């Protein structure tokens, strides 16, 4: 149900914002934060957009089209005298509870506003077309306001109800991933006194949601290094960047995947929903590709990695020609063949 909803992203702006913001600016389509305090960051209209982001995948530099995803909520789990916490002390579990309640209260406000407007038209005004939406909003009110539950925790919304939920973009409808910002020392040694408590809270109150430890300080340091310096530093400290895991977790949470297209100078990744057929995947690149679709020539990334070249994949018999019913798989490398639509003749 969660993957049917519109998506967004959220960062707690007071929790080591500078380090996280500079690092995750690489992922600006995933993470946007407001320069405000805890209870004032929940603006209705957030500045999300689709962005090109350069990522490293194996030996490739890939330009990914990243879409706004879900709630990435970051909590600080280390003491730092240079970073002031608005609550006066570091307690990630308390912070999680505060933000969950802030999100729910914001939805309360939106629900009551929506019901008030619909009641004037659908009930007192007698508009029968809007009466079903009014009834659905009352059901949402019962769940969120009376039961004090997040929208996403109700698992039996029907299609019409999901349409209404998408229309109103409630904050608690979005799946969450919990990013726990550790000191570099704690991240490298994989130990922190808060991690078990955070995981226990999430398992109890948001079952199935991911908890991902990372270190904003480490990620920021890595971004200032050359590729060789970065590799050496990670090997010496027996650790790795958490950014790829954060991206993959977001894709998985929303049933997203990506395929690659490759040219002489560039490899590009394109985001699609799981289950997307080849013509619709081609349409992500350009609408003409979908309209004039002939076939998709496909090789698997693992086959390409093993063989080392397109020619080797072909020689191994693993380069396939697929038709319009082919369902694109995660990591496919695709060359689309298509007819160019004829331009209308000028009079």
The answer on pLDDT for 176 being more than 90 is: no
Q: What are phi and psi of 97, to 5 degrees?
A: -65, -40
Question: Picking from 105-114, 170-179, 249-258, which range would have the lowest pLDDT averaged per residue?
Answer: 249-258
Quickly state the pLDDT bin for 224 (edges 50, 70, 90).
Answer: confident
SS3 337: strand
Question: Picking from 14-23, 116-125, 144-153, 232-241, which range would have the lowest pLDDT averaged per residue?
Answer: 14-23
Percentage of residues in the chain having pLDDT higher than 90: 43
Distance of CA 245 to CAs 24, 29, 249, Å?
A: 13, 16, 6
Quickly state the pLDDT bin for 77 (edges 50, 70, 90).
Answer: low
Calculate mean pLDDT across residues 7-13: 37
**Domains, the chain, ranges and CATH?**
6-82+173-253 (3.40.50.300), 100-172 (1.10.150.300), 256-338 (3.10.20.30)
Closest CA to 12 of 84, 70, 103, 74: 74
What is the CB neighbour count within 10 angstroms for residue 347?
3
Gyration radius from the chain CA atoms: 23
The answer on pLDDT for 78 being more than 60 is: no
Query: Per-residue pLDDT tens for 17-45?
Result: 444 444 455 444 333 332 222 222 223 22
| pLDDT score recorded for residue 288 | 93
Query: Per-residue pLDDT tens for 82-133?
Result: 444 444 467 888 888 888 898 899 999 999 999 999 999 999 898 899 999 9
Contact by Cβ (8 Å): 73, 9: no
The answer on pLDDT for 189 being more than 70 is: yes
269 forms bridges with which residues in the sheet?
Answer: 64, 260
Interior/surface letters 168-201, b for 16+ CB within 10 angstroms, e for the rest: bbbbbbbbbbbbbbbbbebbeeeebebbeebeeb
Contact by Cβ (8 Å): 207, 175: no
| pLDDT score recorded for residue 108 | 96
Question: Picking from 51-55, 153-157, 310-314, which range would have the lowest pLDDT averaged per residue?
Answer: 51-55
pTM (global) more than 0.75: no
Query: Per-residue pLDDT tens for 60-76?
Result: 443 333 333 344 555 55
Contact by Cβ (8 Å): 278, 322: yes
| pLDDT score recorded for residue 111 | 97
| pLDDT score recorded for residue 37 | 26
Closest CA to 246 of 270, 211, 273: 211
The answer on pLDDT for 273 being more than 50 is: yes
């Amino acid at each position: 149900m969660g993957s049917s909803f519109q998506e967004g992203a959220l960062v707690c702006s007071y929790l080591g914002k500078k380090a996280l913001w500079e690092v995750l600016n690489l992922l600006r389509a995933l993470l946007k934060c407001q320069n405000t305090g805890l209870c004032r960051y929940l603006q209705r209209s957030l500045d999300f957009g689709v962005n090109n982001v350069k990522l490293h995948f194996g030996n490739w530099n890939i330009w990914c089209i990243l879409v706004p995803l879900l709630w990435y909520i970051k909590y600080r789990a280390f003491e730092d005298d240079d970073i002031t916490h608005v609550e006066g002390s570091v307690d990630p579990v308390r912070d999680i509870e505060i933000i969950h309640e802030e999100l729910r209260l914001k939805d309360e406000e939106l629900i009551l506003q929506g019901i008030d407007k619909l009641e004037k038209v659908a009930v007192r005004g007698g508009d029968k077309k809007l009466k079903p939406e009014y009834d659905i909003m009352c059901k949402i009110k019962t769940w969120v306001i009376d039961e004090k539950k997040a929208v996403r925790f109700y698992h039996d919304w029907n299609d019409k109800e999901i349409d209404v939920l998408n229309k109103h973009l409630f904050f608690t409808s979005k799946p969450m991933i919990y990013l726990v910002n550790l000191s570099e020392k704690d991240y490298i040694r994989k130990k922190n006194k808060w991690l078990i408590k955070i995981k226990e809270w999430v398992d109890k109150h948001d079952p199935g949601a991911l908890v991902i430890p990372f270190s904003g300080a480490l990620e920021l340091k890595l971004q200032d290094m050359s590729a060789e310096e970065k590799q050496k530093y990670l090997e010496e400290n027996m650790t790795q960047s958490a950014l790829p895991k954060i991206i993959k977790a977001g894709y998985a949470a929303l049933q997203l995947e990506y395929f690659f297209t490759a040219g002489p100078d560039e490899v590009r990744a394109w985001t699609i929903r799981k289950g997307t057929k080849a013509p619709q995947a081609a349409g992500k690149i350009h609408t003409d590709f979908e309209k004039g679709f002939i076939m998709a020539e496909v090789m698997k990334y693992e086959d390409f990695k093993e063989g080392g070249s397109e020619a080797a994949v072909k020689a191994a018999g693993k380069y396939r020609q697929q038709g319009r019913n082919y369902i694109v798989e995660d990591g496919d490398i695709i060359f689309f063949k298509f007819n160019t639509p004829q331009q209308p003749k000028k009079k």
